Copies of this chain bind each other. A is one copy, B any other.
Amino acid sequence: MPSTNLTFSSAEAHRNWLEGQSALPRGFRVGRTRLEFMPVEVAKPAKMNLTLIVLDEPTPSFAALFTRNAFPGAPVLIGRQRLKEPTLGAVVVNNKVSNVCAPGGVEASERLCSAVAGKLGLSASQVLPCSTGVIGWRLPVDAMVDAVPQAVSALEAGSVMPAAEGIMTTDLYPKARRAVVGNGSIVGIAKGAGMIEPNLATMLVFLMTDVDVPREALRTTLHSVTQRTFGCISVDSDTSTSDTVALLSSRKVPCPSLPEFEAALERVCADLAEDIVRNGEGVHHVMRVRVHGAPSEEVARGIGKSVVNSPLFQCAVNGNDPNVGRLVAAIGKYVGANHPEVDLSRCTLRMGGRVILEHGAFRLDNEAEKALVAHMKGAELYASVAPPDGLTFRPPVTFPPHERAVEIEVDLGTGPAASTVLGADRSHEYISENADYRS
């Protein structure tokens, strides 16, 4: 990660590059429409996108992974059932309301599936529902059913962009990544900016391919790729109730080889995972923590997660402050609580490629501090801009200016295992975004 190392000078430049990623594989159409509704719980109207992803013909080759949050959304409960069905023909996605623990939530989702199926000549069990947004509100299912015909008439082949945009909530920009496999391709889109520490999958990722991979191979491959990609990121350590990764094959093009397909899928997923972190709510800096020399992959990943999820280290990174003491505290916190048998005396830490701790003691001086500050400033996506009302911070960019990261390396010196974890800093923009998200 990343497979690219891009910089963008403007939202237009980023948009142009995205268009180049967005060619739909053969056999797919996408479309969306917009509707307004009145949430029961608050007294003002809200807007929602209804997005469809449709296969020309239903396919037996589909795979999906769902959140392990023990309060899953109604669409997740339904999605787990859909995995047993012989074929899948369409996905219907809404933003704004996540349909979690809402009274009658499963019935509402099934009604929407039936409406979509009716317009597409499918059965409801061939439609996968996905919802993202506020937890606690009810799905405005009447308004959604009414909007289905418009979404169906908007269906088009060609570009995935209408779907990539339709599924956004607090995302600053749409996310799409593409890889070529033989004569076919894999295109993925992702939604996710907050409540991101996926446990098996992440908030709404849809992968479409025309490469013909049988159902079981598709499922095994998606599982292992997801572990190494979406399983290694965190924006705020909060595992969503709705995480879903789905992979659909239209089976139009023969698969050159499964390893080649898996490598391409991993590239798309790894890039989307990094896109999700880079577009995380209020993110100023992406952090990449490479842990190696670990006794197990679990320990390596645990240390990486502990570093990227440490609120104090996140704030220091936000301030371009190389507060390496908090880095050490975050590693020691995880190891002390979970693997006290791991000996940290052989641990070497690097930041921006520079050794900062060796044999249990810091190697710091004025010159090192300056170099670390420069590394952190180089990885900054933007600086905070004082808000007009003095309190409500908004990011001053709507595109990713570059793909650089604060690079942290942890060599435990005690074993063969490794893991790379991506995370982000913590900013005023995150607080402002989330102190009153639903208003």
> Which of A85-93, A145-153, A316-324 interfaces with chain B?
A316-324
Q: Which of A188-234 contact B (CB under 8 A)?
A: 194-195, 197, 199
Chain A 10-67 interface residues, beta-carbon cutoff 8 Å to B: 40-43, 67
Beta-carbon contact of A72 and B332 below 8 Å:
yes
Please tell me if the beta carbons of B344 and A312 are within 8 angstroms of each other in the complex: no
Does any Cβ of B come within 8 Å of A154's Cβ? Answer: no
Per the bound structure, the CA–CA distance linking A269 and B432 in Å amounts to 34
Work out how many copies of this chain go into the complex.
2
> A438 to chain B: which residues have CB within 8 Å?
321, 323
A340 on the B face (CB < 8 A): yes
Identify which of A156-164, A290-298, A354-362 touches chain B: A354-362
- Decide if A362 touches B321 in the complex (CB within 8 Å): no
Residues of B within 8 A of A41 (CB): 364-366, 369
* Closest-CB distance, A367 to chain B (whole angstroms): 10
The yes or no answer to A394 lying at the interface (CB within 8 A) is no
Are B389 and A439 in contact (CB-based, < 8 A)? no
Judging by beta carbons under 8 Å apart, are B391 and A390 in contact? no
User: Is the C-beta of A121 less than 8 angstroms from some C-beta in chain B?
Assistant: no
Stretch of A1-9, A100-108, A123-131, A257-265 with 4 or more beta carbons under 8 angstroms from chain B? A100-108
* CB-CB under 8 A for A100 and B391, given A199-B336, A335-B70, A365-B41: no
The answer to whether the Cβ of A426 comes within 8 Å of any Cβ in the partner chain is yes
A68 touches B431 (CB 8 A): no
Chain A interface, number of residues (Cβ within 8 angstroms): 84
Could you say which residues of chain B place their CB within 8 Å of the CB of A326?
135, 195, 238
- Give the CA-CA distance A197 to B357 in the complex, in Å: 24
Q: Does A109 contact B (CB under 8 A)?
A: no
What is the CB-to-nearest-CB distance from A190 to chain B, in angstroms, rounded to a whole number? Answer: 19
Contact indicator B437/A316 (Cβ below 8 Å): yes
Residue of B nearest to A361 (CB): B103
**Least distance between A193 CB and chain B CB atoms (Å):** 11
Decide yes or no whether A331 CB sits under 8 A from chain B. yes
Most B-side CB within 10 Å, residue of A42, A71, A309, A360: A71
Nearest chain B CB to A360's CB is how many angstroms away? 6
A136 close to chain B: CB less than 8 A: yes
Chain B residues with CB under 8 A of A330 = 238
Rounded to whole angstroms, the CA-CA distance of A357 and B71 in the bound complex is 12
Known: A101-B360, A323-B136, A387-B390. A333 touches B238 (CB 8 A): yes
Chain B residue at minimum C-beta to C-beta distance from A330: B238
* Docked-complex contact A71 and B136, CB < 8 angstroms: no
Q: Are A69 and B386 in contact (CB under 8 A)?
A: no
Chain B residue with Cβ nearest A238: B312
A191 to chain B, nearest CB (A): 16
Set B72, B310, B369, B428: member contacting A391, Cβ < 8 A: B428
Instruction: Name the B residues within 8 Å of A366 (CB-CB).
Output: 40-43
CB nearest to A386 among chain B residues = B390
Given contacts A103-B361, A136-B362, A357-B101, contact A329 B238 (CB under 8 A): yes
Cβ of A420 under 8 Å from chain B: no
Query: Does A411 sit within 8 A of B, measured CB to CB?
Result: no
Which are the 9 A-B pairs with shortest beta-carbon distances?
A135-B325, A386-B390, A319-B435, A71-B332, A315-B434, A70-B335, A70-B336, A136-B325, A239-B333
The 6 listed contacts between A and B (C-beta, < 8 Å) are: A68-B340, A70-B344, A239-B337, A241-B329, A386-B391, A428-B432
In the complex, besides A71-B336, A135-B325, A386-B391, 18 extra interface pairs with C-beta distance below 8 angstroms are A69-B333, A70-B336, A71-B344, A136-B323, A136-B328, A195-B326, A195-B329, A238-B311, A238-B313, A239-B329, A239-B332, A240-B329, A241-B329, A315-B437, A318-B431, A386-B389, A427-B431, A428-B428
